[in-house]
Structure 1
């Protein structure tokens, strides 16, 4: 099993009490909404998902030297994630995200992020020795929002690619994290073009299609070097595209409680399986020729996402191997 480094934001999700109200049969419309802290942040959720499944998971990033930062370090370690590359600073506080849910379990976010500790990770804080073994480097677009963390992301991406690592990019676009008037399009496309594995939601694919149609955009992504492009759409079929085959997988049909970690659980399950298979850049390209094997891997990842939506929170919703196997048997 090869190493997976997830890089980016690690923050505290302040999760709405409406989740527990809904679970208790009281409805999700309580006027006295309360919030409870949970560990979160998309790449951190992915790292935790891999760790809980039993993978060789590392997280790279920065949190504050404060009680929230300590909570997050402990939370990652409890999920069997290595925190060797997680730094703490006194220069800024740990980021917070308030997550409110509607009656159907759909999310809305309010971020308390800038300036926050996760944005202070510098380009020179990536160490060459982190990449000496074979591995997978995973990141999202939330580290493209400010010049400093954008430069750090580019440094990590370049180091991983130079070391021959497989690069995974989950767009995970959050427009409210970008400065007012900023257009994420060019920065996001630059990352898409450097990734071996690209995961998009249906809405994010539509965002990339502003100048052309969907088929042409998918062709551009594959021509740029991606071996696998995935498009998720909630409970609708997961679509996949390679240079050799395209197809779809129907996710398990479940009753949604909280969609907070659905995509991250899916990505974590996928990267866990690729790590377990010691997947290289060339190996991922070859996987595109074996449709049945690819669909088996994607079915495993989909089961991880399905389990997550039936539970509240981010880390707290992530499945272990036994949970995934139960979904697959069902």
Structure 2
């Protein structure tokens, strides 16, 4: 990619995924152990963009602890700009203990809240951040408490005022919410303020809550592209004027961790390589590049699903090429 690519700024949580050595309920191989991996959905997306050659920054708060230092080092090593990270001694860096079933699907046990990422406040956004062109990417885990939700909304407002493209990966983790389930109204309200929305079929069912015209109503607000993922099944896409679907490459899934983040990161890396801002997004959506870029994103997701871990499973151009070759005639 060219050196003057648009910066993709990913805001929210970076955390440490502690991945179990066990697959399913098997207790063979001795005691259960956990290996630490850098993770967190927005951080994963930033690394996905950077590893593909894009210009990526991560914005958020980390604890002044060994896990916070570990995450900063991993982000920097991946080529992500970390100058906008703030550190705090008010809370520790979040942890997520991750178990895998025999199909590579995950269950999470979070050590959050309290957590450092929830301590980020509007004044922590540096004024110079929004002075250049950019794309802001967020996830719903920065909506779980009112203070961080207000901070996230502030970031979206500042990005929109600056003519940035705004992207929202719903990425619901119900056990992070105080009530044990996500506040659908809060999530939907923020979704209405962003231009690109990604969610899974399960998340769609939860947010729609029986409203068959949910997607139509959402597209009447700011969203211009809605993406519905469903594991290895076809990705559904909707714009204000059209809709379609495309199938991702077939892979043997090893670990679903970061597959969705690789998908959205791949798409954002494509957008960042174009002379694009908020007002020209519609032109891209009506052009022939849309499905090509979405298939590129699908290949990124498939790549991540075929490798264990988060950052470690995200593709670079060379490792992605076999996946792209598999679907050379996808159109």
What range is the shorter-chain TM-score in? over 0.9
Specify the alignment match of 1:80 in structure 2.
79
Q: 2:6 aligns with which of 2, 5, 11?
A: 2
Specify the alignment match of 2:120 in structure 1.
121
Specify the alignment match of 1:301 in structure 2.
297
Instruction: Indicate conservation of the 8 Å contact 1:245/1:288, yes or no.
Output: no
Point out 4+ residue stretches in structure 1 off by more than 6 angstroms: none
Q: 1:240 aligns with which of 216, 237, 241?
A: 237
In 2: Cα distance, 1:100 partner to 1:279 partner: 40
Instruction: Indicate conservation of the 8 Å contact 1:228/1:285, yes or no.
Output: no
* SS of 1:329 mapped into structure 2: helix
TM-superposed CA distance for 1:155, in Å, is 1.2
TM-superposed CA distance for 1:91, in Å, is 1.4
TM-superposed CA distance for 1:211, in Å, is 4.2
Stretch of structure 1 that moved more, 271-280 or 96-105: 271-280
Number of aligned residue pairs: give it.
320
Residue by residue over 1:190-217, the C-alpha shift from the partner in whole angstroms, topping out at 9 and shown as x without a partner, is: 111001100010011111221411xx11
Structure 2, unmatched stretches of 5+, are 327-331
Q: 2:317 aligns with which of 313, 316, 321?
A: 321
Specify the alignment match of 1:24 in structure 2.
none
Change beyond 3 A, Cα 1:183–1:52: closer
In 2: Cα distance, 1:131 partner to 1:45 partner: 21
TM-superposed CA distance for 1:48, in Å, is 0.7
Change beyond 3 A, Cα 1:70–1:276: same
Change beyond 3 A, Cα 1:299–1:183: closer
In 1: Cα distance, 2:100 partner to 2:284 partner: 38
Specify the alignment match of 1:91 in structure 2.
90
In 2: Cα distance, 1:68 partner to 1:6 partner: 19
TM-superposed CA distance for 1:289, in Å, is 1.5
Q: How does 1:55-204 map to 2 (within 5 A)?
A: 55-180=54-179, 183-204=182-203
Aligned CA-pair RMSD: 1.3
Q: How does 1:24-43 map to 2 (within 5 A)?
A: 29-30=26-27, 32-43=31-42
TM-superposed CA distance for 1:181, in Å, is 5.9
**Does structure 1 residue 12 correspond to structure 2 residue 16?**
yes
Instruction: Indicate conservation of the 8 Å contact 2:139/2:168, yes or no.
Output: yes
Instruction: Indicate conservation of the 8 Å contact 1:128/1:159, yes or no.
Output: no
* SS of 1:212 mapped into structure 2: coil
TM-superposed CA distance for 1:182, in Å, is 6.1
* SS of 1:17 mapped into structure 2: strand
TM-superposed CA distance for 1:18, in Å, is 2.5
Structure 1, unmatched stretches of 5+, are 20-26
* SS of 1:104 mapped into structure 2: coil
TM-score normalised to the size of structure 2?
0.94
In 2: Cα distance, 1:28 partner to 1:166 partner: 43
In 1: Cα distance, 2:253 partner to 2:22 partner: 13
Instruction: Indicate conservation of the 8 Å contact 1:126/1:155, yes or no.
Output: no
In 1: Cα distance, 2:12 partner to 2:284 partner: 27
* SS of 1:39 mapped into structure 2: strand
* SS of 2:233 mapped into structure 1: coil
Instruction: Indicate conservation of the 8 Å contact 2:172/2:182, yes or no.
Output: no
Change beyond 3 A, Cα 1:183–1:233: closer
Residue by residue over 1:153-196, the C-alpha shift from the partner in whole angstroms, topping out at 9 and shown as x without a partner, is: 11111111111110000000111000026651111011110011
Specify the alignment match of 2:329 in structure 1.
none
TM-score normalised to the size of structure 1?
0.94
In 1: Cα distance, 2:150 partner to 2:321 partner: 40
Instruction: Indicate conservation of the 8 Å contact 2:173/2:182, yes or no.
Output: no
